[in-house]
Structure 1
């Protein structure tokens, strides 16, 4: 304990030393010296003065003592700054045998923070006398001992150090012994007595000596011990055993302390020379001494350890009998103990080979592990039966004596169980029967028998047009119930084409995480819907894969400015119009018509005058230019209007058109002619109304017939399909199922109806019809179907509908048959012919809808203008 305290103080001193090296505000070191055992409250020194510290600042700067000792031996007087002893200081407790006993302290001063090192030297005082651990000892010496024989004695201990420690020994005066003191290398003094004169037991049975130890302190302190020397008689007869060999048996389950055999010897000597004690022989092995014990007085051999037949089935050892004479004489014999076996060992299951991982497609009967079973017992106690617990697809197959093979008993599936903890049970035939269980872990190796499965079979992706190429769009994910490389997936885009362009030019997919990136920027006006297939393939052998469909919808942005249809650019940048000076307020001067290639709100068009005028106004939605008041004589005959056309997108796109209006004084045509034309116009209007009624009735009848035919077709196909679909005729088209979409679009001043047919990836066909709003003739134009709306081509067609252009009717069927009807400028179609073509066109649409052709019908009708008179829309 003293050495532990010394080591503890040494570590404390070392830590304080390191701490002082790292502390950046350490003051000078101060050392005080005091004697141990000073009274509590004794003053060691004035630490405030010694540190040149103002006493008045002690309380403010919080001067305190810090020590690593569990006990605070010192404190600081907060008034005088004196270092005071807190309690009893025992140098022997603090430092043990260390001569220089230093108690390190730390003086901590705050505000600002300072640390000072203080060492208290504890001086030793002679407060401990030499002490013998044994106050009385007995030493037996035979009367036949030779002169000069040395007998070592117990050394005294003195915890004091220096001059206060043990100095010498003294022996009381006697006739037979003298004292000798030996000094060892470590400075310890060991006393011994030397026989100077022979002893006679018949004259004196014993001797009593007093050994005194003194220290070098002042005053001198001493300690004594009493030595009793007994003179022993001489011995001349050895003990004799009754048998040369003792034989016995013992159950291996014998309890501790049970008797095995008792040995007996005799000695003819008298007194202590005839008293006998029994011991193991000198060369008795340790394993015998661990399980047996010999009673020295009675000679009874008992069990003191656990007997184990499997470790040793018999024990043979020597015993001896010693008398108590001097010198001691002894006799010898041997003991043989046979151990009787019992069923005390459970069977042991040994794995001859570690279990091998088994592929999940392993055939029935595949060897997984080799097992050996053994039992250390003998006879029936060592017979073992081995079996496997139920519920596992394995069985034990015996090979030879106590050896088994663990084999598969059925087909394995790693996805259901990736490993098995198989319990094997071994039972012996002893009584009572003992059993052992062992759990064997068998891992099932994965085989690539599961294809990847996407979380979703299809994905919808919405992309705004004019997107930035290379941006992440979507992440697809698939899972694979296999393991390791069989579950590592690689994503790829299947080779396909959209609009005759490879899918890889549109999209790129990260092969590791399934993130899809755009490879190009999309234009809604060119492509609206895309579809491609993503494949997930594992790294197994052979590899398995699965597909998911990605539907890409391009969202429109306002990236197209309105395009002026009328007045056309071929007529020049300025449109020239005429009007009479007698025009009244609200007179229609002209009409500006524009279209926007965008869709939705981005295509809503509004018109306004960029430069204000008091004579004219423009309708916000229709683009009609009308007079705000009657024309006066003061108005200039030439007026120029700058009309701004804006869409409703964000940001707003706009364009302008300039209209020159020439104000004339009167009409060039006589009034009777005007009335005649009006009459003719009314007659034509009546005919148009009649034709329109007839056409509407025909179309309605055809629609009813169409719906009836579709209903019959759906009823016939309902037995084989859960949904009614429009089928194609046997014309060789690949996809029989089409989606029919009818949409009424009122974007902008031009109204149109869209009839779309086809699946998501088919190229929609469109039929467009336009009537020039300012044409004096009934020009009617049908634009051939196209996959996308190309407004540049549309404008070219619309330009052809002006008075000095040709009138064209063009239609395209899915079978790529083209019908061209063209009339030159001089041959104008009558209103009845125009309505006939409209009816024919609608009939064609109905027929194609019945047989499932893919259609996209766009009809734009704003108004029909004839002979400068506007016919309202019906």
Structure 2
């Protein structure tokens, strides 16, 4: 790096160099070079890339460029080697005029990231301009009466160079009458004049032709010359004289026109007309001075003619002649130096360069957004400018150099909160009163993909009836992205998984643009009750962001399966149920049973049995249980009854429309002595079937118990781990029951008997226990008016499996001991039946009754009826309209046992507990009696 400063004096140059070096080392960041003017194209100036600490390989990628306001073609940088060189002719006089200091200020800008450097290149003067006289011939009038040593001023030469190259020496051609006088005044201006060495004699020599030469001190020296023509005149021998040869005046630039600058006074010792003096501008005064000032020829007052402007001309040098009116007239001379004082009359100027708009919202702190430069033409404090940025926000101004500022990012941006900023830069000078200027900067924030699409809720529950047409629209998901343009364009897709043996995409599809979810094929409730899957929403940003939502599609059952009769007992002719009935059986004895199942759920699978009337209208001595399918006698059989009874049993479900099937039951009436053989045959067949089914049920019970134990153990362990952590504020506590969803088939609601909030660290409290119960109208007691369940009710998978298991258990002889034996009476779905042995299930009726309370009553014919408050630990309720389910959430759930549905009324609980011991004792006695009866048969 080359740091060169020139001066006239060596000590002064050294002092300035040390000062600039100290300022640079203190952190100004400016690089200095020097180059002589008129240097040839390609002249080496400096290794600018190396001095700025930049790598050569990154000049082109980072868009390295050099800018100079109005002087962009003088210097250039070779991007291959990082050398600053002269690009075109540099004329110092054209560039800086007569200023002692002449520099070219360069702005070096590199981007990615944006950096700005300031480089100052000093242009050194060379002696390329010779001294020049404004006029090639100067005429001087001298009276012959002038005494020796009289001085006659001449116009000196001017040199456009500066420094040593502008210091001139004058030389006059040889003359015996004249010599040259050279003086330097206080402002380093040189005045020359002719000095008369001896008296002139006009008659001898009327004219003197002299050669005036001016030589500068440059290397090499350059000279200029002018002719001096001296005319000798004879008349007046005393010229007017001023009190001093030079006057200095200071005046403000805002002075009004007509203001008196100075009043001159010259005196002439002559008398009469030779004493009268008139004032005028010297003929050498330039026209610019004449335009700005005027002089009164009589009074000698110099006044302002046009407005002064300090920024254009800071001082005026005026030569005044005082001429008497003698013959010949004689003149005295003086110089008036007018210095114009600055006033604060210029507003600061603001310019914005290198704008980096729009600004990405993820731009790092400290990023340079724009470069701002200010300029004030005034001087001193009037030209000192400070900048302020309003409003105070995510941006701030950083001063990088004198009158240069950088607009940088001060805090993080968020386009979603504010996408546009209107900034105002105010520049104010230090004058009194101060002047200011403002500039507006509009900053747009560019969006980046920093927001993922969000769904309104994390999970949706959808109900779809089975047997839907292919392509049916079942739901529409919608996600909102707060970004803009491509970053906010959301597309939807399925999260593929396996559903059984098939792919999820074979069941449903989602439209990528609208989010419409459609079923691709008819859904079958018997095959798939719940289809749970996820839909992904992804934006089009880079990189893309996404989120998922869970859809729980419940397939609602329709009555599309007719009742199916179970295979008849072995030995039955033609697939009909065939039984041997003793004529000695009494009224109300069960002699046969029709078994049927329905693949549907809920009311669609609730079967009823009806005995079709016999041909001819004869009254049959048998009847069939409405919901049990058991055929029993209505009276004692006699000899008049036909020995072969053919019964047609109609099996019908409760769907809409109802589907039905018929079963044929053949009963052979035999004497009591013939029954044991048949019975033993039936018993042997039943025993083998019973033994086979018992083995299956044992394995099933063991598997169920193992799975249940594992589930309970997992829930207890998970609950202990979750509750061991400190609970978050507001995560636990009682809350109002919230309706989850409702449809034509019923409603899911929280337990109203007792509310228990769930402690969870992952989200809002949830309820684990939910009850699905039909909307039953208020009415009279269920014992008087049987109330059928709504056919749209569907059973849960576990309940339907229990129904099927009960049927198979009855086939194996587990639920009943055989014809004539004591039967286990299970509660049925009807609220009242005509059979005395049937049970009763009474749902709650009327407002204010707990919807989770159900009362089970056993018929009077049940020999094993328990106490009112006692129920078996595990039981199956065929056709029950109440569905009890526990929804598992991925949270730490704490379930109070009191939240489960209780059977029976609460106020009867204590009474039932008291009767529990007595009922157990009575049940043991009944079991003993039943065993005795079976052995007798």
TM-score normalised per structure 1: 0.40
TM-score normalised per structure 2: 0.38
